[in-house]
Chains A and B, each alone.
Chain A
Amino acid sequence: MEQHLQDLYEVLSKVDGYVYPNEIELNWSILIVLYPYITGLVAGAFILASLERIFKIRILKPTYGIALLTAFSFMLVATMPLVSHLGKPLRAYEIMITPHSSSAMAIFGFVYLWYLMVVLFLEIWFDYRRDMVIWAGETTGFKRFMYRLLSLWTTDISPKSVALDNRIGYIVTVIGVPSAFLLHGYVGFIFGSIKANPWWSTVLMPVIFLFSAMVSGIALVMGIYIILSKIRRQVIDMNCLDTIARYLFYILIIDFTLEGLDQIHRIYVAEESFEALHKLVFGQLFFTLFIVQGFFGTILPLLTLGTFQFYKPRAEIRKVIYLVLSVLILIGIFFMRWNVVIGGQLFSKSFYGYTSYKVGMIGAEGYLMAAIWLIVPFLILSFLLWLLPPWKKIETDHGNLEE
């Protein structure tokens, strides 16, 4: 408490121009940066998985399972930064009990549950059920119990029931794609619908969030696939990797175009808030917006991936470059969220001044806490990969189903 006040006095001494007194405290901190970031990773990873399943891009097969489990692991954690940021975390349940229909935030609980339970859980369940039944017979102890529990003590693995699983799984994925769009477009709407804040208030916000989500999710799965293959000492399927990179390239172009369009529109219409935002962009946001998000997170990957469409260096070099690019993109998208969430609070709604934001290390809103919520999904993912290794599954060709 005392520390908090001290920090606020420090911010007060650094205020540039005039901000409303209540604006000195920055209300949405690094944890709220993580929230759209993590949900974005979920949506993106899921869409990569559905490319294989629905759009039958079978070359992506090696990443299908990884993508699904990644999406699931991050989804389990997605609400945690939000809840830990609440002033009254124990009251979080109220959002499910009395959701306010006019609030963009209230529906989150339901969109979240729908996506977690109906889409991700069911798709994984139907995909893994036969394997879990088989594995339950081959293992003992904790693992055996988990398989039994997760398969709900079912035993039926006749070709007929497996075919049914496959069909339902397909339907779930078909529902899942619009759900993923909904989930992340909706997160964008939470920001885009705040008319008080000109930095957020744009109709493009949901679309931008959606495409940047796809970019980050695909980059994440690409990185995890490369690292996982290294750890498992497996040969990386370069065809698969090149295909992912190609999709990444396409979506990155769309993302870049949309964000560019948003900025060009702002500059051209130059509304009341323009001067204030202009100063913000070239001041406090310059490094995170132009250098990190713009150059390292967008333009550099775009140029590299673009070059790869015409000229491909040796596989060894490509692998390393892909890994580096995936990290760069992940950092870039993180700072895209940062620029939206934190950037939107650095200027006063009076447009007469700027406050500043310093992330503390400890405390509920420090970067240690944020780091925890970024590390936990990877722990969950490791556990899931141990429990449900996609590479040990019996091959089911999703493509055969509809043919």
Chain B
Amino acid sequence: MKKEKTKLSRRDFFSAGTALAGGVAITSVLAGYDGLLFAAVTPNAKGIWYGIGIDINKCIGCGKCANACKLENNVPQAPFYFRSWVEQYTIKNDGSIVVESPNGGIDGFKQSVPDKDIFKSFFVPKMCNHCAKSPCTQVCPVGATFETEEGIVLVDEKYCIGCRYCVQACPYGCRYIHPDKGTVDKCTLCFHRLKKGLKPACFEICPTKARIFGDLNDPGSEINYFLKNHNCMVIKPNLNTGSKLFYNALNPEVR
């Protein structure tokens, strides 16, 4: 009871403080966030509310998803622009961590640490988390990036001014400035495919079905089955981004 009260007053305090500080959105303060629990109580109770699941145990690091993403979405081929990429984490016996992602994993991985030094090693595919309280849409000064009703974060190419504030605000490094267009670019969860009833390219192409996605509002959906039957976690839950990209078997070392 007491706890409830302090929570409320803190909330009020934050609301007043942020309003004073320049009318900064308070949505992120109002809804509680607990990694996985967040998926169970979805903010948007009506319609489709997309969530993504990636099973780290199934990923073989072939990089086909990163490659397919680039080809499907005309992402520049140079290794500085990715909507989706794969990282290899290697925890060594001495406790140090090696992270690699040569060309985002598109050309495959060469094991750089000898077997005898490895404590464990695994692949982590990365992509936009399509956060429900996304820090990137919060900071866009003109409203050129936004969340759709289905919970997909999109970019309005024709309206983006290229200020790069959203690139700074994304904790996951999922945005880049398209070198030819001068505007920001990011994963759209293949919105153009979704709207035709198709799966996003990376989901379509994954040879081991390590990636699934679906409607978090539908209790029978694949994503809900995945979340219920695996130990899932999001990356950087402490940042309260409302991430909807859930990983099975995510090590806390992954950032």
Contacts and interface: CB of A to CB of B under 8 A. Distances in A.
A195 B171 contact: yes
A87 B177 contact: yes
Contacts of B32: none
B159 interface: yes
A269 interface: no
Contact of A186 (B22, B78, B182): B22
A402 to B, nearest CB: 30
A21 B22 contact: no
A87 B177 CA distance: 8
Given A350-B255, A352-B97, A103 B80 contact: no
B173 A349 contact: yes
Given A193-B24, A196-B239, A28 B164 contact: yes
A353 B80 CA distance: 15
A4 B177 CA distance: 13
User: A interface, how many residues as a size bin?
Assistant: 35 or more
A102 interface: yes
A23 to B, nearest CB: 5
Contacts of B180: 1
B172 interface: yes
Interface stretch (B98-106, B114-122, B189-197, B202-210): B98-106
B160 A88 contact: yes
Contacts of A18: 87, 98-101
B162 A189 contact: no
Contact of A91 (B80, B98, B161, B165): B161
A93 to B, nearest CB: 9
A8 to B, nearest CB: 5
Interface stretch (A104-112, A131-139, A160-168, A235-243): A104-112
Q: Which of A27, A28, A99, A348 has the most CB of B within 10 A?
A: A27
Contacts of B183: 87-88
Interface in B118-153: 126, 135, 138-144
A87 B164 contact: yes
Contacts of B249: none
B80 A194 contact: no
Interface in B85-103: 85, 87, 97-101
A350 B164 contact: no
A86 B173 CA distance: 19
Contact of A8 (B78, B159, B162): B78
Interface in B54-109: 78-82, 85, 87, 97-101, 104
B175 A106 contact: no
A300 interface: no
Main SS class of interface, B: loop
A200 B165 CA distance: 13
A140 B100 CA distance: 71
B168 A20 contact: no
A120 interface: no
B21 interface: yes
Contacts of A103: 138-141, 165
Contacts of B139: 102-105, 193-194
B173 A20 contact: yes
Contacts of B173: 19-23, 348-350
B177 A95 contact: no
Contacts of A27: 164, 167-168, 177
Given A94-B142, A99-B141, A99-B142, A88 B161 contact: yes
A20 B176 CA distance: 11
B23 A349 contact: no
A106 B25 contact: no
A98 B144 CA distance: 10
B179 interface: yes
A350 B173 CA distance: 9
A25 interface: yes
Contacts of A202: none
B143 to A, nearest CB: 5
Given A20-B173, A22-B174, A88-B162, A98 B142 contact: yes
B154 interface: no
A22 B186 CA distance: 10
28 contacts: A5-B78, A5-B80, A8-B80, A17-B99, A18-B100, A22-B80, A24-B80, A25-B80, A82-B163, A86-B161, A86-B162, A87-B162, A87-B184, A88-B183, A94-B144, A98-B142, A99-B141, A100-B142, A102-B138, A103-B138, A105-B163, A189-B22, A197-B168, A344-B168, A349-B171, A349-B255, A350-B255, A351-B255
Given A102-B27, A194-B168, 14 more contacts: A5-B78, A5-B80, A19-B173, A21-B80, A27-B167, A28-B168, A95-B142, A104-B22, A104-B24, A186-B22, A194-B139, A349-B172, A351-B255, A353-B99
